[in-house]
Amino acid sequence: MSEGSRIHRMIQRRMGSGYHAEVSMKHCCDFGNYSLLVEGRADGVMDTSPVTIDEIKGTYRDLGRMKGPDPVHLAQAKCYACFYAMDNGQEEMKVRMTYCNLDTEEIRYFESSYTAQELAEWFAGLVGEYKKWSDDAIAWKQLRQDSIHGLEFPFAYREGQRELVTHVYHTICHKKKLFLEAPTGVGKTISTLFPSVKAVGEKKADRIFYLTAKTVTAAVADETYRLLRERGLHFRTVTLTARDKICFLEETECNPEACPYAKGHYDRINAALFDLLTSQEHYGREEIEAYAQKHRVCPFEMGLDLSLFSDGVICDYNYVFDPHVYLRRFFGDGGQKGEWIFLVDEAHNLLERGREMYSATLYKEDFLTLKRTVKAYDGRMEKHLEKCNRALLPLKKECDGFRVVEDIDPFVQALTRLSGVMEEYLENHEDSPVRREVLEFYFQVSHFLAIWDLVDEKYVIYTEFDEEGRFFLKLFNVDPSENLRACMDRGNSSILFSATFLPIQYYKKLLGGQGQDYEVYAKSVFDPEKKALFLSGDVTSKYSRRSEEEYANIALYIHRIVARRHGNYMVFFPSHAFLRSVWEKYQAAYAQEDGAECLVQEEHMGEAQRESFLKRFEGNEDCKLEKVIHMEIEVEEESSLVGFCVLGGIFSEGIDLKNDRLIGAIIVGTGLPQICTEREILKEYFNRDGEDGFDFAYRYPGMNKVLQAAGRVIRTAEDVGIVALLDERFLQRAYQRLFPREWERFEVVTSETVAGRVEKFWNDWL
């Protein structure tokens, strides 16, 4: 943008006194019940005969290969020419498109002439096409606002819920951020969406972005909007689905030659959008796919376009926070601010996702691989790839396994030059047999350079050899708070909420909160008597204690808990290896005695396998009473289902097993992440920052996994269940201070006493 501005000023200064730069122009179209104002700023108006409108565009393209001006650029200039002719009584106008190469400063002109009547008819047609969209927008907004004014909360308020709704609304009114610890059962989705919708009705905002880390939470938001619509709300909502998931092709390839939905997409997309927008208010994956098939357009692009016309956008964090994936329709370069509310669900996930999105890695070996690939096709690119490789050599020689580095300027300079060479090659060699390989690596290079522009004191730059011996350089965003805050500052207000947001100051600090932003702890509405919390003092997951004997002791704990009542249980472990070791002991010694079937979370499970795993728990509801006929007497044989899962994995968060679908969670270990380079970098960084580095790098993330896993048990006010924490470290003050308020009451047990305490709990409730 700065280069483009420089080029504009350079050309404008050269044009002499008869050239008037940056001329504001506008035209108002009266449509009766509203007016449409079209305005802009012409780069230049030239005192020629006829008068010439000059539109300047900076580009990196090869000007010699251009066959004509970009149609959109020309249309912009024709609008200015039309306005000037109408305002100044001109019968004829000339339009000049001025393209300037930002590198070479080479200039190429494209000129065309039009009568005032031609321009007026063309503009009238353009406005006529637009009018049906503006008519719809005006009518829809009125309908939306009227429906919001009469909308009431759809349930009887639970204890503390009205206050929670009020906190959210006031945060939006004051244009702040709210960090909300919302235990299961408080109704966090409706308690954040409802006041946000009401704020839209009061013109405090114009669009709501509901941001999620997982598909299941997106579905809950979608269902909440449906519930509000049933009560009279008119609110257009779209759920964005990832390109790879919604693409109609087996292998996603976004070009008109390979995809029939891409070919002619822009000729058909307006009709497709208008058809869907005027047919219904909910645009989920099924609706988008159906209308994309009907009109033969790209479903992914159609979803993105629908976001422009939707009042609520349900999407992954990436669409707001990722520097390469964010919705440029709303958050384009330039730092513009919109009338938007960001609702960030399960916001504890945003910390690691933020670190990932704002970090960048390049492998030395990848430069050599591409160098060999392009050798026969482009000697210039081969040379620049080698220069980057040589710039990495000193860093590699100085790296003894791992090393924090301060100066990588020589490498960045070489990489910047390589990026320009690759960009030129891609533009001029559309049919190259190595285009895909060049393009994929170009994206990696571009990402690295974009992140390099963000590097500050909240980054650590380091080199390391991975497990396969490959050497890499990483820009590691240790503290992503500034980057996340900049994204949230694009809107009016942000509500970040999670069932596990402890300690709240830790998350507030690292997720972009500031002193004036708010924190709220929503009280759990569940009866604490319906959950038993047991802490063991005689087993642990510490590495120093791992042994066959310890695995056997943990298996004994599982047996003595499961045997007290048949039902569904999940047991969470710190790793797959630990899980396997305990599972083998339990399966061999106790599973048959307990009448238990064991399910094991595999290391790599596809979507179908995950769904099958969860459906077993849903199908085992009410203790899965299996009836067996024996000697003409009907006997009820009770059974249990025990899922062996990994802490922090796909089954420890975001699943909703209500009622008897899960009656117990047994958590082995404190969830501490494994010691690794990046965890140690985090620890040292926050120690220097005056914090407890071990807490920030290990204890807090570990306890979040524990709290998430424990939260699978009590999902409704009717649920009854137990949580057992099997690790002696849970008896330490350092861990207990991270317990939520609803964990104030717990019992310390041993392998000898646990069976009796569990049995007493169930006897009190059954």
What integer best gives the mean pLDDT of the chain?
92
Q: Which of 101-105, 260-264, 272-276, 541-545 has the lowest mean pLDDT?
A: 101-105
Name the β-bridge partners of 597.
641
Residue 623 confidence (pLDDT)? 40
Check pLDDT > 70 for residue 97: yes
- Between CA 210 and CA 338 the distance in angstroms is 15
Residue 1 confidence (pLDDT)? 64
Which amino acid, one-letter code, is at 515? Answer: G
Check pLDDT > 50 for residue 72: yes
Q: What is the DSSP string of 685-749?
A: HHHHTTS-HHIIIIIHHHHHHHHHHHTTS--STT--EEEEEE-GGGGSHHHHTTS-GGGS--EEE
Residue 639 confidence (pLDDT)? 86
Model pLDDT for residues 158-180, shown as the tens digit of each residue = 888 999 999 999 999 999 999 99
Which amino acid, one-letter code, is at 447? Answer: H
Check pLDDT > 90 for residue 567: yes
| Among the listed residues 30, 97, 35, the one whose alpha carbon sits nearest the alpha carbon of residue 66 | 97
- Tell me, what DSSP letter sits at residue 157? P
Mean pLDDT across 101-110: 88
Residue 267 confidence (pLDDT)? 92
Q: Which of 101-110, 236-245, 438-447 has the lowest mean pLDDT?
A: 101-110
Query: Cβ atoms within 10 A of the Cβ of 576, count?
Result: 16
Which amino acid, one-letter code, is at 230? Answer: E
Residue 584 confidence (pLDDT)? 97
Q: Looking at per-residue confidence, does 630 or 621 come out higher?
A: 621
Mean pLDDT across 61-80: 92
Q: How many residues belong to the chain?
A: 766
Q: Looking at per-residue confidence, does 373 or 328 come out higher?
A: 373
In sequence order, what are the residues at sequence separation of 6 or more whose Cβ sits closer than 8 angstroms to the Cβ of residue 706?
Answer: 647, 667, 670, 671, 725
Name the β-bridge partners of 520.
180
Percent of the chain exceeding pLDDT 90 equals 80
- DSSP H helices in 472-623: 481-488, 504-510, 548-562, 576-589, 591-594, 607-619
The pair of three-digit structure tokens given for residue 393, joined into one six-digit string: 């050599």
Which position has the token pair 């330039």? 334
In the chain, the domains with their CATH numbers are 2-133 (3.90.320.10), 150-235+311-355+481-521 (3.40.50.300), 245-309 (no CATH), 360-477 (1.10.275.40), 528-765 (3.40.50.300)
Name the β-bridge partners of 237.
282, 312
Residue 523 confidence (pLDDT)? 84
- Between CA 222 and CA 32 the distance in angstroms is 37
C-alpha angle with apex 97: 95 to 103, nearest 5 degrees? 165
Which position has the token pair 């060479």? 421
Residue 61 confidence (pLDDT)? 81
| Three-state SS at 658 | coil
| Among the listed residues 475, 472, 425, the one whose alpha carbon sits nearest the alpha carbon of residue 454 | 475
Model pLDDT for residues 495-514, shown as the tens digit of each residue = 999 999 999 999 999 999 99
Model pLDDT for residues 640-678, shown as the tens digit of each residue = 999 999 999 889 887 888 878 999 999 999 999 999 999
Pairs from 287-296 (Cβ < 8 Å, separation ≥ 24): 288/238, 288/241, 288/246, 289/246, 289/248, 292/248, 292/261, 293/248, 295/268, 295/269, 295/271, 296/260, 296/261, 296/264, 296/268
3-state secondary structure string, 378-431?
A: CHHHHHHHHHHHHHHHHHHHHCCCEEECCCCHHHHHHHHHHHHHHHHHHHHCCC
- Between CA 722 and CA 557 the distance in angstroms is 13
Mean pLDDT across 20-28: 93
Q: Work out the pLDDT band at 237, boundaries 50, 70, 90.
A: very high
Q: What is the DSSP string of 543-568?
A: GGG-SHHHHHHHHHHHHHHHTTS-SE
Q: Work out the pLDDT band at 186, boundaries 50, 70, 90.
A: confident
Residue 298 confidence (pLDDT)? 94
Residue 130 confidence (pLDDT)? 94
Q: Looking at per-residue confidence, does 714 or 377 come out higher?
A: 377
Percent of the chain exceeding pLDDT 70 equals 97
- Tell me, what DSSP letter sits at residue 163? H
Q: Work out the pLDDT band at 333, boundaries 50, 70, 90.
A: low
Q: Work out the pLDDT band at 64, boundaries 50, 70, 90.
A: confident
